[in-house]
């Protein structure tokens, strides 16, 4: 039997990138999956089709996580469709790098914090309200919060609040057997600013300081998400799993 057979997972921002990789992995493990997207209905349908080809059920739900009313509709639709929620992954986010503190604007701030901070906070709150006992809540953060770099103050700042919330929430709902953890990915090929590919000089730079001399992959993150969603991680909570190939970030 597949290890997530009978489980229901909701993954925000799962029409592309890391969210999609996690949604498809959970589907391959037998979970029924709620695929969330803000824009990109075609990509969301592709994700649903990929999950269904593997034998699991999936549904795509449009919702802007920066809007609490949309989040409420997303969670309500998930429960109406599948009857329960066992796993929630807060993956939706946007990335802005190479922006010095002296240069970012109020518009930049509002855009990043509305999704990466407000959206993540209320996703985790709704997850805590609706996930079943013994469930799993996972936040996709960033290695930038572990190792600050120039040009990343706004992005890292918008992501670190929900990382702190993970530790608090793990204590508040741990009695229900629900685990709450975060995954902190490093530079991942095909995700974020590398969605369109990786320039060779960037690849060489990464290899120069990373003990495991390569870029991170979608599978690296999906592997971590598989572990944290499984029974193997039933006693792991309030933790931040840094996926960086041995580097500090």
Q: What is the extent of the structural domain holding 69?
A: 8-243
Question: Does 248 reside within a domain?
Answer: no
Alpha-carbon distance of 94 to 158, in angstroms, equals 10
**2 inside domain:** no
For residue 47, being part of any structural domain is answered with yes
CATH code of 152's domain: 3.40.50.720
26-45 exposure pattern, b = at least 16 Cβ within 10 A, e = fewer: bbbbbbbbbbbbbeeeebbe
Identify whether 217 is part of a domain: yes
How crowded is residue 124: how many other Cβ atoms within 10 Å of its Cβ?
A: 22
Nearest to 17, CA basis, from 92, 111, 88, 75: 92
The number of folded domains in the chain is 1
In a domain, 113, yes or no: yes
Is residue 1 one of the residues assigned to a domain?
no
Tens digit of pLDDT at every position of the chain (249 positions)? 689 999 999 999 999 999 999 999 999 999 999 999 999 899 999 999 999 999 999 999 999 999 999 999 999 999 999 999 999 999 999 988 888 899 999 999 999 999 999 999 999 999 999 999 999 999 999 988 888 888 889 999 999 999 999 999 999 999 999 999 999 998 787 666 666 666 777 777 777 777 887 778 889 999 999 999 999 999 999 999 999 888 776
Q: Is residue 249 part of a domain?
A: no
Rounded to an integer, what distance in angstroms lies between the CA atom of residue 107 and that of residue 84?
A: 38
56 inside domain: yes
């Amino acid at each position: 039997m597949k290890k997530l057979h009978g489980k229901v997972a909701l993954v925000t921002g799962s029409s592309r990138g890391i969210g999609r990789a996690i949604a498809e992995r959970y589907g391959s493990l037998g979970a029924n999956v709620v695929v969330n997207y803000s824009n990109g209905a075609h990509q969301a349908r592709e994700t649903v089709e990929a999950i269904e080809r593997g034998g699991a059920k999936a549904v795509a739900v449009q919702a802007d996580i920066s809007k609490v009313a949309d989040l409420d509709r997303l969670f309500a639709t998930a429960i109406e469709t599948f009857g329960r929620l066992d796993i929630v992954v807060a993956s939706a986010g946007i990335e802005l790098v190479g922006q010095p503190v002296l240069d970012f604007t109020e518009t930049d701030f509002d855009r990043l914090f509305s999704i990466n901070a407000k959206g993540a906070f209320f996703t985790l709150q709704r997850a805590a309200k609706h996930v079943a006992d013994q469930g799993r809540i996972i936040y996709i953060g960033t290695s930038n919060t572990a190792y600050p770099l120039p040009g990343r103050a706004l992005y890292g700042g918008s992501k670190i609040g929900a990382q702190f919330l993970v530790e608090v929430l793990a204590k508040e709902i741990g009695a229900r057997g629900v685990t709450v953890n975060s995954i902190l990915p490093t530079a991942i090929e095909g995700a974020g600013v590398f969605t369109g590919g990786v320039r060779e000089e960037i690849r060489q730079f990464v290899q120069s300081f990373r003990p495991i001399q390569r870029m991170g992959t979608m599978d690296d993150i999906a592997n971590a998400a598989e572990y944290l969603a499984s029974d193997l991680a039933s006693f792991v909570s309030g933790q931040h799993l840094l996926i960086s190939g041995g580097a500090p970030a």
